[in-house]
């Protein structure tokens, strides 16, 4: 699909050839919101990568320093310090690693599992479809947070278990999206001809069907990462996510809650970090949806 070339005439009437990827990227760059989202995420990834170089985890991020406790934002501590004297700026910077790893990790696992299940359900149909989709329906009848509560209760609280718990709800979303997308392309002639050529089913799904269902999957992935980051912080806020003293953003909010009266910045700033990250992902997701929508093609 990506190799298919499109021809676009420019102002000078010079015929330029763009791959479909270039075409989509070009449209994406025209969307201001998506560009802001992309830049923010890029900065966030850089912060997540350099935070171990800038702050020592043992001493600056989780190490207590009671002499500096509850100091408001200042030149020495840009975001102030918490009740154990830990620098909030350092903790929020480090927290980006947790949010990004959990968000992208859980959604990637969900993507793999959901895509496999959705592709089988959509392509095979019949009893497979019934079995898989009824199973997915069951997960839809339990609130996501309750599924996570059950899984974390079974496996115990840790970052890895949180990722597993959140990947369940991500997988159900991907399964539905992929199934619907596969069903729309499975009867196309190129799929029939692959059959006629004697390709095995898995190869037809992997090489011919899934690449043609990529658009909804990419959009779902971007938006789901945002939702998952919120869910992860919600669970940490409830005390069943990332265990203390790790600086996950939801855990920071939970810790700052008891100090709302005298140190409100402890509650405001980690929440803004979550808000802007999810906002950036949603802007990018919406931009991708518009850029990938063939109806908008000129």
Partner 1 sequence: MIKYIVKRLLQLIPVIIVTSFLIYWAMNLTSGDPALLIAGDKATPEMLEQIREEMGLNDPFLVRYGRYMLGMIQGDMGESYITGKDVFQTFMETLPNTLMLGGAAVLIAVIIALPLGIYTAIHQSTWKDNVGMVFALFGTAMPNFWLGLMLILLFSLKLGWFPSGGKAGFSSVVLPAVTVGYGLAALIMRTTRSSMLDVIRQDYMTTARAKGCSERQVIFRHGLKNALIPIITAIGMQISMIMTGSVLAETVFSWPGIGRLVNDSIARRDNEMVTGAIIMCSICMCLINLVVDLVYAFFDPRIKAQYAKKG
Location of structure tokens 């990227």: 25
How near is the Cβ of 119 to partner 1 at its closest, in Å?
Answer: 23
Report the C-alpha gap between 196 and 93 in whole angstroms.
55
Q: Should residue 109 be labelled a site residue for partner 1 when binding is judged by CB under 8 A? A: no
Q: Is 128 or 140 the residue whose CB approaches partner 1 more closely?
A: 140
Pattern 128-147, partner 1, x by CB under 8 A = ---------xx-xxxxxxx-
Q: Is 157 or 212 the residue whose CB approaches partner 1 more closely?
A: 157
CB 253 within 8 A of CB 238: no
Structure tokens at 287: 């931009």
Q: Should residue 237 be labelled a site residue for partner 1 when binding is judged by CB under 8 A? A: yes
Q: Where are the beta strands (DSSP E) in the chain?
A: 5-9, 15-19
Q: Is 8 or 296 the residue whose CB approaches partner 1 more closely?
A: 296
Q: Should residue 258 be labelled a site residue for partner 1 when binding is judged by CB under 8 A? A: no
How near is the Cβ of 290 to partner 1 at its closest, in Å?
Answer: 13
In whole angstroms, how far apart are CA 259 and each of 121, 238, 264, 265? 50, 17, 7, 9
Q: Should residue 72 be labelled a site residue for partner 1 when binding is judged by CB under 8 A? A: no
Q: Which stretch binds partner 1 (CB under 8 A): 69-77, 98-106, 268-276, 287-295?
A: 268-276
Q: Should residue 111 be labelled a site residue for partner 1 when binding is judged by CB under 8 A? A: no
- What are the residues whose beta carbons fall under 8 Å from the beta carbon of 71, sequence distance 6 or more? 77, 80, 81, 85
Q: Should residue 250 be labelled a site residue for partner 1 when binding is judged by CB under 8 A? A: yes
Q: Should residue 260 be labelled a site residue for partner 1 when binding is judged by CB under 8 A? A: yes
Q: Which stretch binds partner 1 (CB under 8 A): 43-51, 57-65, 104-112, 231-239?
A: 231-239
Report the C-alpha gap between 262 and 70 in whole angstroms.
9
Structure tokens at 225: 């990462």
Chain residues 136-195 in contact with partner 1, contact rule CB under 8 A: 137-138, 140-146, 149-151, 153-154
Identify the residue among 234, 243, 259, 290 touching partner 1 (CB under 8 A): 234
How near is the Cβ of 242 to partner 1 at its closest, in Å?
Answer: 15
Q: Is 205 or 280 the residue whose CB approaches partner 1 more closely?
A: 280
Q: Should residue 247 be labelled a site residue for partner 1 when binding is judged by CB under 8 A? A: no
C-alpha triplet 275, 283, 103: angle, nearest 5°: 55
How near is the Cβ of 272 to partner 1 at its closest, in Å?
Answer: 9
Q: For the chain, how big is the Rg over CA atoms in Å?
A: 23
Kind and range of the H or E element at 225? Answer: helix 214-238
Report the C-alpha gap between 47 and 92 in whole angstroms.
10
**b vs e for 98-111, b when ≥16 Cβ sit within 10 Å of the residue's Cβ?**
bbbebbbbbbbbbb
Q: Applying CB under 8 A, which residues contact partner 1?
A: 137-138, 140-146, 149-151, 153-154, 226, 230, 233-234, 237-240, 250, 253, 257, 260-261, 264, 267-268, 271, 274-275, 278-279, 281-283
């Amino acid at each position: 699909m990506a190799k298919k070339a499109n021809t676009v005439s420019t102002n000078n009437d010079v015929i330029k050839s763009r791959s479909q990827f270039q075409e989509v990227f070009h449209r994406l760059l025209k969307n201001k919101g998506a560009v802001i989202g992309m830049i923010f995420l890029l900065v966030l990834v850089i912060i997540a990568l350099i935070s171990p170089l800038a702050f020592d985890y043992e001493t600056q991020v989780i190490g207590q320093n009671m002499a500096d406790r509850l100091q408001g934002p200042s030149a020495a501590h840009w975001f102030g310090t918490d009740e154990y004297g830990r620098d909030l700026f350092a903790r929020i910077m480090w927290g980006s690693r947790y949010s990004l790893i959990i968000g992208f990790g859980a959604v990637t696992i969900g993507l793999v599992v959901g895509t496999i299940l959705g592709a089988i359900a959509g392509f095979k149909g019949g009893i497979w479809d019934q079995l898989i989709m009824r199973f997915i329906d069951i997960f839809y009848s339990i609130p996501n947070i309750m599924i996570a509560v059950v899984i974390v209760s079974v496996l115990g609280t840790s970052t890895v278990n949180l990722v597993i718990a959140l990947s369940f709800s991500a997988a159900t979303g991907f399964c539905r999206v992929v199934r619907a997308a596969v069903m729309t392309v499975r009867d196309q002639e190129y799929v029939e001809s692959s059959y006629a050529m004697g390709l095995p089913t898995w190869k037809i799904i992997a090489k011919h069907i899934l690449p043609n269902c990529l658009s909804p999957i990419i959009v779902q992935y971007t938006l789901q990462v945002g939702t998952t980051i919120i869910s992860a912080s919600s669970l940490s806020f409830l005390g069943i996510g990332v265990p203390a003293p790790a600086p996950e953003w939801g855990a920071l909010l939970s810790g700052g809650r008891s100090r709302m009266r005298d140190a409100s910045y402890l509650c405001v700033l980690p929440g803004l970090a979550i808000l802007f990250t999810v906002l950036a992902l949603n802007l990018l997701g919406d931009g991708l949806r518009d850029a990938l929508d063939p109806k908008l093609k000129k």
